[in-house]
Amino acid sequence: MQIGIIGLGRMGGNIAVRLSRHGHDVVLFDRDPATVGKVRDRTEGGRGIAADSVPDLVSKLTAARKIVWVMLPAGEITEAAVQELSGLLGRDDILIDGGNTYYKDDIRRAAQLAEKGIHYIDVGTSGGVWGLERGYCMMYGGTKDSADHIDPILEALAPGKGDVPPTPDRDKPDLDPRAEKGYLHCGPAGSGHFVKMVHNGIEYGMMQAFAEGFDIMKMKNSAALPEDQRFDLNMADIAEVWRRGSVVSSWLLDLTAEALAKNASLSEFTGEVADSGEGRWTLEAAIEESVPAPVITASLFTRFRSRTGNNYAEKILSAMRFGFGGHVEKK
C-alpha cells in the first residue's frame, strides 16, 4: 500500500522505515527538509518519496483512497495539520493521527471530517524509539470500513505474535485475534487514543512503584538507621536478578537494569520528570466517571513535585523515560 507520513521525528521516521521494510510505499514530509532526506535514505527498496509540502505530499499519493498518517506533537501543530488536510483530501480518503491526541479532540475531528466524507482514525501508538525493530503496539478507533482498509499497514507496524506464549482460552468468537499480534480496533473515533491514554496513566503508576522501591533500597544504608540494620545494596544487581523469573519482570524493569548497569548513581539525570499530558487526561476521565485512581494520581503529583526538588527515585523515573522514549530532561 501507499501512505503519506507527516512528521518524521523519533517515531514518525521509524514508522516510515518499518513500513518500507514490509513492502509499503511511503511519501514523506517534515518541516525540516534535511530530516526528509535522511528518512528517505533509510527506507528500503526505493520506497521512500520526498515531498516538500503537505499539498505536495497529497498530490504524490496515487491510490484510489489516499491515506495520510500524521505523527506530530499533540495540540496546535496536529490540529493545524488536520485542518490543512481536510481541505486537500477527498471522499473516502483516510486521515490517521498516530500521536497522543486528547480523545475528545478525535471525536470532534472525526465528525467534522465525516461531513466531507473523509475517514478519521486515531491510533494510540506505543513502542517509543524501539518500535523500528520491536514493532508498535497500537490501539485505534474509527469506522470499521476504514480500519479494515488500513489493516495491512497496521499489521506491518505491529510486533506480531513473536515468541510471547499464547493466552489460554482466547479461542472465543468475541475476542479479536489481532490483539495477539499487538494491534486492536477499539471502537469508534476517539476510542484508540482513550485506551492509549489510560495505558500511559497505568505506566505512570508502574514507573512510580519501581522508583519508590529502588529509593527505599538505596536508602537502606542511611546513617539514620541502627548500624546493624544498614544494608549497602547493589541496585544494578537487584534490577538484574528481578528480570530473571520475578513477578515484577517487565520492559520497564529491563530499561531500569540497563540504566543502572551503565551508571548506578544515575548522575546523568537530574530527576526533574516531565509529564506529556496523558496522565492528566486519565485523571480527568476518572473524575468524570467517578472512578477512584489513587495510584495514578499520586504518580502524577510526584512528577509535579520532582520539578521543585528530587531524589534517587526521580532519577529512576527519568532513566526509564529516556530508555523507552528517548525523553531528555529539559535543562
Nearby residues of 147 by Cβ (< 8 Å), 6 or more positions away: 121, 140, 185
> Annotated catalytic residue: which of 203, 272, 278, 314?
203
Burial of 246 (0-12, 13-18, 19+ CB in 10 A): exposed
Given a contact cutoff of 8 angstroms between Cβ atoms, the answer to whether 121 and 150 are in contact is yes
Helix (H) or strand (E) holding 317: helix 312-325
- All 3 cell numbers of residue 39? 528518512
Q: Residue 119: beta bridge partners?
A: 94
Number of H helices, E strands in the chain: 14, 8
> Annotated catalytic residue: which of 66, 181, 196, 315?
196
Note if 196 is an active site residue: yes
Nearby residues of 67 by Cβ (< 8 Å), 6 or more positions away: 1, 2, 3, 4, 61, 93, 94, 96, 149, 150, 153
| Strand 119-126 to 137-141 pairing | antiparallel
Comparing CA positions, the residue from 74, 122, 126, 83 lying closest to residue 101 is 74
Note if 203 is an active site residue: yes
Given a contact cutoff of 8 angstroms between Cβ atoms, the answer to whether 301 and 204 are in contact is no
Given a contact cutoff of 8 angstroms between Cβ atoms, the answer to whether 211 and 220 are in contact is no
Rounded CA-CA distance 278/103 in Å is 10
- Show which residues are catalytic: 196, 203
